[in-house]
Amino acid sequence: MPHGLDHIVHAVRDLDAAAEFYRDAGFTVGARNRHPWGTHNRIVQLKNCYIEILESPSLRRSCQHGARSFSFGAFNRDFLARTRISMLILTLATRPTMRRVRGGRHWRL
């Protein structure tokens, strides 16, 4: 069962330019990170979720789709290669059922 919004993926062609846009808008932008499959990202932390600014900088380093596998990095790279717009993907969080601890204000998974 979905718990709510986990994070927003904002796929871009130029990670540093997008980070500057978010900083200019008043957000704090985290440092550049690199995923093992070749994508780079920066995080914009919000109150209850975050924005992941994502770039697929290299065709060679991004994992490719396989016959029976899906590559998120290749998906973003291919989308940005065939369109002029950026892409936003909303991801939902799932959590196990939570229950209130008897007599208290705490919740337990």
Q: Decide: 83 and 5 in contact? Cβ < 8 Å.
A: no
Residue type, 99: R
Report residue 25's pLDDT band, with 50, 70 and 90 as the boundaries: very high
Q: What is the pLDDT of residue 92?
A: 64
**Tokens 């927003």 sit at which residue?**
8
Is the pTM value of this prediction over 0.85?
Answer: no
Phi and psi at residue 36, to the nearest 5°: -60, -25
Percentage of the chain exceeding pLDDT 70: 68
Instruction: Please write the tens of the pLDDT for every residue from 83-104.
Output: 776 666 666 666 544 444 444 4
Which of the pair, 23 or 74, is modelled with greater confidence?
23
Instruction: Please write the tens of the pLDDT for every residue from 40-71.
Output: 999 999 988 899 999 887 655 556 767 777 77
pLDDT at 107 exceeding the cut of 80: no
> What is the maximum span of the chain, computed from C-alpha positions, in angstroms?
57
